[in-house]
Amino acid sequence: KAGVTQTPRYLIKTRGQQVTLSCSPISGHRSVSWYQQTPGQGLQFLFEYFSETQRNKGNFPGRFSGRQFSNSRSEMNVSTLELGDSALYLCACGLAGSPDTQYFGPGTRLTVL
Amino acid sequence: GNSVTQMEGPVTLSEEAFLTINCTYTATGYPSLFWYVQYPGEGLQLLLKATKADDKGSNKGFEATYRKETTSFHLEKGSVQVSDSAVYFCALRWNAGNNRKLIWGLGTSLAVNP
């Protein structure tokens, strides 16, 4: 079966711009979580969506937002980009009732200049 | 709060050497524990997991035992291969309902030389 798809894979933006990243989960997986991965901070949880509702949120400023659509696809948006937002953004999906099994996408590499 | 500490890398070994990557955690209650692996240019993959004390997770020759008394979940493999070269992450999930938030260690890079 198809895996988790993230688009785009690479993105270059400048400070002050905004960006939208997309994640298409495995068919039937209704939970989508987002993580930011940087060399200094490692992997940090951004938020989790389930059935179009945000169920959990990490400690990121309000510039980071997300949503989930009825087909379980999810987007995250970062507004007013800062240099420190340069990172690999990963999404993970899972089935309802199986919180210990999550599948990760390849990530979107965002570079802010 | 909940946290994960794993040994810093990089770790460099020769093929067929024994591998240990240490991981300790701080958490309330009884979290689920995981090891994920990230191969070069690929996404994170679940390597193994354990959901309660004394459970042993195993996969592809790797093992880790959930030790509640020492709050540890060390990763071991008896004989590493060049193909095991990757970054290994220890993580925990606090068991509260359907909470899926993973808390991660910083990762340990492993390089295996032929």
Beta pairing partners, A23: A6, A74
The distance of A12 to chain B (nearest Cα, Å) reads: 18
Give pLDDT tens digits for B23-73. 999 998 889 999 999 998 888 999 999 999 999 999 999 999 999 999 999
The answer to whether B101 contacts A45, with C-beta atoms less than 8 Å apart, is yes
Residues of chain A found within 8 Å of residue B39, distances taken between Cβ atoms = none
For residue A1, what pLDDT is reported?
A: 59
For residue A100, what pLDDT is reported?
A: 87
pLDDT bracket for residue A17 (50, 70, 90): very high
The distance of B53 to chain A (nearest Cα, Å) reads: 15
Helix (H, G, I), strand (E, B) or coil at A85: helix
Chain A to chain B Cβ contacts (< 8 Å):
62
The answer to whether B46 contacts A35, with C-beta atoms less than 8 Å apart, is no
Q: Calculate the alpha carbon distances from A106 to A22, A25, A103, B50, B92 in Å.
A: 12, 12, 10, 24, 21
Most B CBs within 10 Å, among A50, A88, A100, A103, to test the B interface: A100
DSSP letter for B67, please: B
Residues of chain A found within 8 Å of residue B93, distances taken between Cβ atoms = 99-100
Percent of chain A scored above 90 by pLDDT? 88
For residue A6, what pLDDT is reported?
A: 97
Q: Is B89 on the interface with A (CB under 8 A)?
A: yes
For B45, the token pair is 């993959």
Give pLDDT tens digits for A21-65. 999 999 999 999 999 999 889 999 999 999 999 999 999 999 999
- How many Cβ atoms from other residues are within 10 Å of residue B72's Cβ? 17
For residue B97, what pLDDT is reported?
A: 66
Asked if the model's pLDDT at residue B96 lies above 80, the reply is: no
The answer to whether B49 contacts A104, with C-beta atoms less than 8 Å apart, is no
pLDDT bracket for residue A8 (50, 70, 90): very high
The distance of B81 to chain A (nearest Cα, Å) reads: 24
Q: What is the mean pLDDT of chain B?
A: 94
